[in-house]
Amino acid sequence: MLKFPSDFAWGAATSGPQSEGTFKKKHQNVFDYWYANDPDKFYDGVGPDTASNFFNDYKEDLALMRKAGIKSLRTSIQWSRLIDDFEKCTVNQDAVDFYNNVINAMLENGIEPYMNLCHFDMPVELQHKYGGFESKHVTDLYAGFAEQCFKLFGDRVKNWFTFNEPKVILDGAYLYQFHYPLKVDGPLSVQVAYNINLASAKTIERFRKLYGNDDDKRIGIILNLTPAYSASDSKEDKEAAEFAELWANKMFLDPAILGCYPEKLVEILKRDGVLWDYTQEELDLIAKETIDVLGVNYYHPFRVKAPEVSSKSLQDWMPDIYFDEYEMPGRVMNVDKGWEIFPEALYDIAINVRDNYKNIPWFVSENGMGVSREERFMDENGVVHDDYRINFMKNHLKELHRGIEEGSNCHGYFVWTGIDCWSWMNAYRNRYGLIRDDIHTQIKTIKDSGRWFKETSDNNGFEE
Domain containing 248 — which CATH number?
3.20.20.80
- What's the length of the chain? 464
Residue pair 159/9 in contact (Cβ under 8 Å)? The answer is no
Average pLDDT estimate for 200-211:
97
Average pLDDT value for the chain = 97
Other beta carbons within 10 angstroms of residue 307's beta carbon come to: 16
% pLDDT > 70, the chain: 100
Taking alpha carbons only, the member of 204, 200, 202 closest to residue 218 is 204
* DSSP notation for 287-340: HH---SEEEEE--S-EEEE--SS-TTSS----GGGS-EE---TT--EETTTTEE
Tens digits of residue pLDDT in 133-144: 999 999 999 999
Q: What is the pLDDT of residue 242?
A: 98
Average pLDDT estimate for 102-128:
98
> Does residue 111 surpass a pLDDT of 80?
yes
Task: Please give the backbone phi and psi of residue 137, each rounded to the nearest 5 degrees, phi first.
Answer: -60, -40
Q: What is the pLDDT of residue 26?
A: 95
Average pLDDT estimate for 78-84:
98
Catalytic residue selected from 20, 134, 245, 366: 366
* DSSP notation for 82-108: HEEETTTTEEPHHHHHHHHHHHHHHHH
How many domains are contained in the chain?
1
Q: What is the pLDDT of residue 212?
A: 87
Q: What is the pLDDT of residue 82?
A: 98
Tens digits of residue pLDDT in 315-338: 999 999 999 999 999 999 999 999
Where in the sequence is the domain holding 367, given as residue range(s)? 2-462
Q: What is the pLDDT of residue 224?
A: 97
Average pLDDT estimate for 58-66:
98
Other beta carbons within 10 angstroms of residue 440's beta carbon come to: 7
List the beta strands (DSSP E) in 7-106: 9-13, 72-76, 83-85, 90-91
Q: What is the pLDDT of residue 334?
A: 97
Does residue 112 have an active-site annotation? no
Does residue 374 have an active-site annotation? no
Average pLDDT estimate for 180-191:
98
Residue pair 12/418 in contact (Cβ under 8 Å)? The answer is yes
> Does residue 258 surpass a pLDDT of 90?
yes
Tens digits of residue pLDDT in 279-303: 999 999 999 999 999 999 999 999 9
Q: What is the pLDDT of residue 192?
A: 98
Average pLDDT estimate for 266-290:
98
Q: What is the pLDDT of residue 160?
A: 98
Catalytic residue selected from 165, 242, 282, 374: 165
> Does residue 215 surpass a pLDDT of 90?
no
> Does residue 130 surpass a pLDDT of 80?
yes
Other beta carbons within 10 angstroms of residue 348's beta carbon come to: 18
The confidence band for 378, taking pLDDT boundaries of 50, 70 and 90, is: very high
Q: What is the pLDDT of residue 213?
A: 77
pTM over 0.85: yes
